[in-house]
Structure 1
């Protein structure tokens, strides 16, 4: 995952579950709607999987990938295919590892912390838990749900038809706008550099030496 010069406040380092909860609660005073994302390297940007590929598919191939996934996935669905919009299909594809223009978030701070520290530390790397506050205007509209590959802004969504594991994790997504310009392939900006979300993102870091103790506390 690409690193970047992160343009968002760092709330500081946390070493215990208690200090983690204290740090995020102090930051979120007055904010009702918050999403969380855990990343096992604090230097990683909030960048999309589809944008991290060395050879990114052109826009029409992005659509082709989704159509092929839909064709193959129908026998394994928990819900009737007729109930699903392309946005739901993207969420399911993201869950199963297809590179998409979505980024995973959770409504649970503890779930995000677990994803940040569940693996062994990367060398001397600290992990990070990101916080994203939002207002209802940032939520995806019904019209945008119908054509997610054509959205003109980066939106938030909580899928209505998703695998049970995402439901258990209180899964959310950011759905990102693509910028074509003269390119055949869409380009995307990392969320922390998106001016529409300026002032709505911050993060805490977890040093590698605290991973083990915090995993025990979460358990």
Structure 2
């Protein structure tokens, strides 16, 4: 696995060009994930928290029964409901990725951390699916042929139309869902989805030549400088999250108001 050290925004952009041209097999479609601490593993929340599937299903069932009390986004497809739960912080077997390297960089830098060791991951989603289900491409949930071919509903928790635990497929796979919520659109979101597998994405792809790249960014000064440059470019809290909480957070930052 290639590891690149990042010290500036221009250095990051040059690294992304290198990743696209030389370091991943499919430079036309690269997925990125930024994390604020290099110790954070490429595992979805339900898995790294050790939530067993029966408990996970109970949590999702409660979400299904009550989320419309707090949202006007009535959704009919189980994957859309699952993605909405993920975007609002519920532990799922989904892991967030983005097709935008700048959005991934923002997520890596946004949060204050004691250890200023941050990572942006870049993967070839085609290689992940090729390894997991022998399909060289991403898998669109809206594609009826692919949904049936790969029994995709068997990755869903039972309350969302999935199957019993014993029938769940392994994964992980790279999927796209239709952008039916604002955050998914603004963050250019896509997902990897685990089934029964608990293997980290980097472990799955490490044996694959040109399957994954790790970009590391260290130091408080580097973080602050690049974050300021992202703000100048219009990459900020409210453009990413597009809600009033994020808008308020940006105003407090701009006007120097501490929490």
Q: TM-score, normalised by structure 1?
A: 0.81
How far 1:175 moved relative to its partner? 0.5
- Superposition RMSD in Å: 2.1
Equivalent residue runs for 1:82-161 within 5 Å: 83-85=76-78, 87-123=79-115, 125-135=116-126, 136-139=136-139, 141-143=146-148, 144-149=151-156, 150-161=168-179
Distance 1:101 1:13 in 2: 30
The runs of 4+ residues in structure 1 deviating greater than 4 Å are: none
Distance 2:206 2:15 in 1: 25
* Residues 91 and 162 in structure 1, CA contact (< 8 A), matched pair in contact too: no
Separation in 2, partners of 1:197, 1:101: 23
Of 196, 199, 205 in structure 2, the residue corresponding to residue 189 of structure 1 is 199
For 1:1-219, list aligned pairs within 5 A.
Answer: 8-10=1-3, 12-29=4-21, 31-53=27-49, 56-81=50-75, 83-85=76-78, 87-123=79-115, 125-135=116-126, 136-139=136-139, 141-143=146-148, 144-149=151-156, 150-179=168-197, 188-195=198-205, 198-199=208-209, 200-208=211-219, 209-219=221-231
- 2:54, 2:91 → 1: CA distance? 14
Query: TM-score normalised to the size of structure 2?
Result: 0.69
Structure 1 residue runs without a partner (length 5+): 1-7, 180-187
- Unaligned ranges ≥5, structure 2: 127-135, 141-145, 157-167, 232-259
- Between structures 1 and 2, the one with greater helix share: 2
User: Structure 1 101/164 Cα, relative in aligned 2: closer, same or farther at 3 Å?
Assistant: same
Q: CA 1:119 to 1:62, structure 2 compared with 1: closer, same or farther past 3 Å?
A: closer
Whole-angstrom distance in 1 between the partners of 2:86 and 2:111: 20
CA positional deviation for 1:44: 2.8
The answer to whether the Cα contact below 8 Å between 2:206 and 2:212 also exists between their aligned partners in 1 is: no
Q: How many residues align?
A: 198
User: Could you give the per-residue CA deviations for residues 18-49 of structure 1, whole angstroms, max 9, x where no partner exists?
Assistant: 11010111121161010100011123321221
Deviation at 1:215, TM superposition (A): 0.6
What is the CA-CA distance between 1:14 and the residue it aligns to? Answer: 1.1
